[in-house]
Structure 1
Amino acid sequence: MGTDSKYYREIITKLERFIRKEHIHIILSGIQLMLVVAVASFTFFTFIEWIANLNSAFRTILLFLFLLLSISALGFLVLLPLFRYFKLFRKETYFEVAKRAGKFFPSLKDNLLNAMQLVTEKTSGNLYSINLVDAAFKNVYRSSKGIKFESAVKFDKARKILPYFVGLMVVSVLLLLIVPGMLSAANRLVNFNKEFVQPPKFIFEVNPGNTEITRGDDILITASVIGEPPKEVFFVLKKEDEADFNHQKINTDSTGRYSLHLSSVRNSFKYFASSEEIKSELFEVTVINRPLIDNLELSIIPPSYSKIPKTIQKDNGNVTALIGSKVEINLSSTKNLTKAFLEFNDSTITELSMIDNIASGFFTVRKDNSYKIKLVDVNDNSNSSPITYIIKALYDSYPVIELLAPNKNLPLGNDNRLTLLARVADDYGFSKLTLKYRLSASRYEPLQTEYSSIEIPLEDLKKEIEVNYIWNLTPLYLAVDDVVTYYLEIFDNDFISGPKSTKTNSYTVR
């Protein structure tokens, strides 16, 4: 039989390669078209959901139509060509394939079709000799030996579809991301079996929400509208001892907010904002009895050297005192306490001792500072917004000394005595006055680098005095042209920061 000819089988193999490449082209085009159908239908149905905000039943129908279109496109445009690629469900004959292939190769077309026609007509009852059929296919084989039929398939259709597919994808994604509500509509469409509440025309943003206030405090309740402004807004309140909610109509202020100011609140209450059947969350203001300072007494005890008497302040926590002063605090609270402490601005803490509602303690003034008194009651409630008290530290000044006479270099008298007259002053008194001296020039003795000291007694301890002292230099055994350098140094009595001293100018005696 002619179909047993090896030349016939070679031609069929060439045509089969042509058919397979055609189907690959069809499959690639079909995948793109199927995705176009899926994306376009999903975007279209999402747009319908965005416009109509449908219920679950209608969204189910839309999703079913989307799946039907997508699956149908998948089957017709992708799966069917794939089956035909594997020779399933093929209806066309090799003669029809040869006619398509022959259009691309005119030099082969007639011989190829004539040869294929011999085989086709043989099956319909017209008999040709095997030698004739074999010779025909041999002639076609020789003519097409260097030709690949599948080279005629160029994938032009797939390339033309690709820009439309990419464009549709970009447009669909932009619609979902840019158009307000489209992404939510897509989510509702995917979750077709859920019921979604239509978003309200506006929502309330209410402050302070749930909060606690101290009994007797004022409170400001505000509401801002996000969305389309309503015509009327009500604050709806119910105190803990009332059965029903009370409505209060509120007008906007200059900032566009709705505000309600309540003075001297005594009882806890619940509240929410309402308008056009749209309500905010239900909030609660809880009124608590926070601990308050009922009585405050400060005893300020300056350092003993200052001789300043103790002072007592009532209901005033501000302190102005000399550095080193001890400040004793005694207070009573409106409630029994579990904790009380002083919180300073430099982050230090001073705990107070407690008995029931009484707290006491002390601190020492070291520098300018400030502090708050923090209280915690047995219900773990703390005093809110405690007062900040100021600590002003007073600094002890340096003592002042002036050598009145002699206030220049002098020769030593024959009696080896030098009369010194000095005036000293300090804001809180003195601890000692010293005469410092050394041998600074001599022909016979080694010079002294360290000063020797003589303490001059201070009989009057007033804040400002004059001191008259006769310095006998005889024990120094000075020789001719020996020079002694000297000065006076006064020390105050500040034992907190350490005694501070001041010196006079240095003078010489020869």
Structure 2
Amino acid sequence: MHAFTSYAPLPRTQIEVLPGNAEIIKGDSLKLTAIFKGEIPEKATLLVRKENRSVWEEDLLTRISNNEFSYIFKEVKKSFAYYIKSAGCLTKEYEVIVINRPVVKKLKWTLVPPSYTRLSKRIITENIKQVEILVGTRILLELESNKELERAWLVWEDARLVKGKVDKKKAFLRSKVFKNREFFIKLKDTQGIENEEPISYKIAVIKDELPQVKIDWPGQDVEAPEKMRLPLKVSLWDDFGFTKLWLIYRINEEKWKKRAIEIPHKNEA
């Protein structure tokens, strides 16, 4: 040390600020701690300037020990700057950056009924939380997030996961449904942050009714001479029509026989 070199004296009070600069997920809380060395003040003041504001707001820190003060920012929604002053001592200005969680901004449903129904697919872009479908319908979901995604899942009520495909801010999910179900969509962005409190969606399944057959004539046991032709009138009904029809019959005590019958255009035979 040079005998004639002068050094600036340390301030009577030094303040260490934790965490200093920080990043925080939107909605989380942040604990601020100020550790004092040297002369310990009776109080410490926090000054905060919120994002897009020019005014500094003041509040007192809470003393938690002889030389430590703290402050908790609850459920932080926006970024802000802050510093601490006490006993004529000022810290430098720090910045807290708020990071948004991924959320579903848009959701498009494509409902594809089973092919045998000959029903057209249905597309829904409205904001819905419940949908009715026919049993066996394929559900295709296309969503758009506020952030670029790393992964996306459809999560059923039994915790079973269906992994989707992602493309930047979009994700594509699909599944076939056979019973009443409930699900939510889980997202993870490229920073590893997941969505929180996702919306729950309900699916109500409509069962396909069994075909109904009514023998209009003769409608009862009959006796007929050998080799006599016996007319038969049958009414058929089904909510989605028919693809195949068989007549199963036997004469006297013979074995049962099965014969394919061409289905009339109007589903009547």
Normalising by the smaller structure, the TM-score range is: 0.5 to 0.7
* Aligned match for 2:268, one of 462, 466, 470: 466
Deviation at 1:240, TM superposition (A): 6.8
Alignment partners' CA distance in 2, 1:354 and 1:418 = 64
Alignment partners' CA distance in 2, 1:455 and 1:358 = 50
Task: Look up the match of 1:246.
Answer: 59
Alignment partners' CA distance in 2, 1:286 and 1:369 = 39
| 1:331 equivalenced with 2:143 (yes/no) | yes
Report the CA distance shift for 1:361/1:451 in structure 2 as closer, same or farther (over 3 A). Answer: same
| % same residue | 28
Alignment partners' CA distance in 1, 2:47 and 2:196 = 25
Q: Helix, strand or coil: the match of 1:305?
A: helix
For 1:420-459, what aligned pairs fall within 5 Å after superposition? 420-440=232-252, 447-448=253-254, 450-459=255-264
Report the CA distance shift for 1:289/1:428 in structure 2 as closer, same or farther (over 3 A). Answer: same
Task: Look up the match of 2:208.
Answer: 396
Report the CA distance shift for 1:408/1:237 in structure 2 as closer, same or farther (over 3 A). Answer: farther
Name the structure where helix makes up a greater proportion of residues: 1
Deviation at 1:243, TM superposition (A): 6.9
Q: Helix, strand or coil: the match of 1:332?
A: strand
Residue deviations 1:334-364 (CA, integer Å, cap 9, x gap): 1111111111112221111111111112111
Deviation at 1:267, TM superposition (A): 3.1
Alignment partners' CA distance in 2, 1:297 and 1:337 = 17
Alignment partners' CA distance in 2, 1:240 and 1:437 = 88
Task: Look up the match of 1:365.
Answer: 177
Larger RCO, structure (CA 8 Å, separation 6 or more): 2
What code does the residue aligned with 1:427 have?
A: D
Report the CA distance shift for 1:372/1:286 in structure 2 as closer, same or farther (over 3 A). Answer: farther
**Paired residues of 1:296 and 1:316 also in contact (CA < 8 A):** no
| 1:296 equivalenced with 2:98 (yes/no) | no
Report the CA distance shift for 1:395/1:269 in structure 2 as closer, same or farther (over 3 A). Answer: farther
**Paired residues of 1:298 and 1:316 also in contact (CA < 8 A):** no
Deviation at 1:438, TM superposition (A): 2.3
**Paired residues of 1:298 and 1:317 also in contact (CA < 8 A):** no
* Aligned match for 2:191, one of 362, 379, 384: 379
Report the CA distance shift for 1:264/1:243 in structure 2 as closer, same or farther (over 3 A). Answer: closer
Report the CA distance shift for 1:300/1:287 in structure 2 as closer, same or farther (over 3 A). Answer: same
**Paired residues of 1:320 and 1:392 also in contact (CA < 8 A):** yes
Larger radius of gyration: 1
| 1:410 equivalenced with 2:212 (yes/no) | no
Report the CA distance shift for 1:237/1:349 in structure 2 as closer, same or farther (over 3 A). Answer: farther
**Paired residues of 1:291 and 1:377 also in contact (CA < 8 A):** yes
Report the CA distance shift for 1:414/1:438 in structure 2 as closer, same or farther (over 3 A). Answer: closer
Deviation at 1:423, TM superposition (A): 0.7
* Aligned match for 1:312, one of 120, 123, 132: 123
Alignment partners' CA distance in 1, 2:47 and 2:130 = 42
Residue deviations 1:379-414 (CA, integer Å, cap 9, x gap): 111111000001111211111111111011222147
Alignment partners' CA distance in 2, 1:365 and 1:269 = 50
Q: Helix, strand or coil: the match of 1:429?
A: coil
Aligned-pair RMSD on alpha carbons?
3.3
Structure 1 unaligned blocks of 5 or more: 1-211, 220-235, 249-261, 271-284, 441-446, 468-510
Structure 2 unaligned blocks of 5 or more: 1-23, 30-44, 62-73, 83-95
TM-score scaled by structure 1?
Answer: 0.36
Name the structure where strand makes up a greater proportion of residues: 2
Alignment partners' CA distance in 1, 2:261 and 2:76 = 70
For 1:7-406, what aligned pairs fall within 5 Å after superposition? 214=26, 239=48, 245-246=58-59, 265-267=77-79, 287-314=98-125, 315-316=127-128, 318-406=130-218
Report the CA distance shift for 1:240/1:288 in structure 2 as closer, same or farther (over 3 A). Answer: farther
Equivalent residue pairs, number: 203
